Amino acid sequence: MKRDKLIWAGVALLLAAACSGCNKLKARDQINKGVLAFKNAQFAQAVEHFQKAASFDPTMLNARLFLATALAQQYVVGGTDAANIQMGNRAIQAYQDVVKMAQNNTTAMTTAIGSIGNLYYNMRNFDQAKVYQERLMKIEPNDPDPYYWIGVLDWTPCYARDAALRAQLNLTRPKNPAQPDVLPPLPKKAREELTAQNGSLVDEGIQNLNKAIELRPNYANVYTYLNLLYRQKAELEADPDARTADLQRANDFFNKGLALMKAAAATKAKASHAS
């Protein structure tokens, strides 16, 4: 009797292993079908295949990552209807599932965290976008991209507040028509109010962008945002000379970024012509 029980226990284990192997094969088949649908821009079908793959093999990390990516592809940047926002939130949740599973897979984890940050940025949830960029910094402190994104995320609300305040005060016209990029200084009270709101963000953004440049000296987009943040810094200066110096630095960064972009475009064109 005891021997029979052992035999049946062994049979049960073999059947379980066979079933598990069968499910893994089914999962791979669904992954392949999902990838094909994704390549054909059939994202809804791809989602269905990746969901089935995950149900067949809950341990398959790629199924979760592909699912999140297919969901993210269906989110329309700037769309404010409820269905679109729900799609963005579904993609975020799917990427968060990847983060939970990818504790020993740095590539998958950073891909998911970065994607969450980008989704939050596109959904204009800048506070949460910054949280995820800061998480990336801790994982890969020598990657310049999160530092760049912190600069972008700091500039975005600063510029919005500045533009709204200038519109309210009717100070949107250039001080000197010969210098159309130089606006008249803000009145003292308005400048102090804006400093209280934007001052720390401007300083943080510049600090992070400088770190990005330290890590990647020819990062053209960083110079673009250094230009923009120094213009915001100029808005907060009480000293006219300091304001002028900030605007000059902004112009220098703009020119540096433009030169790098032109050089990159020329290199790309040359390589394309050679091939």
For helices 106-122 and 144-169, what crossing angle results, to 10°?
10
* Stretch 84-113: mean pLDDT: 94
- Amino acid at the residue 247: L
Four-residue CA torsion sign, 33, 35, 37, 43 = positive
Assigned CATH topology for domain 29-127: 1.25.40
Instruction: Encode pLDDT of 36-68 as tens digits.
Output: 999 999 999 999 999 999 999 998 999 999 999
* Stretch 129-134: mean pLDDT: 97
Could you tell me the pLDDT band of residue 173, with boundaries at 50, 70 and 90? Answer: confident
Neighbours of 262 (CB within 10 A): 11
Could you tell me the pLDDT band of residue 275, with boundaries at 50, 70 and 90? Answer: low
What pLDDT sits at residue 4? 53
- φ, ψ of residue 176 to 5 degrees: the values are -130, 115
pTM here is 0.84
The answer to whether the CB of 102 falls within 8 A of the CB of 61 is yes
Instruction: Encode pLDDT of 6-40 as tens digits.
Output: 444 443 444 444 455 688 888 898 889 999 999 99
The DSSP-derived string for 66-96 is: HHHHHHHHTPPTT--SHHHHHHHHHHHHHHH
* Stretch 150-166: mean pLDDT: 96
179 in helix, strand or coil? Answer: strand
Spans of all domains in the chain: 29-127, 142-270
- Amino acid at the residue 111: T
The answer to whether the CB of 66 falls within 8 A of the CB of 31 is yes
State yes or no: pLDDT of 75 exceeds 70.
yes
* Stretch 198-204: mean pLDDT: 98
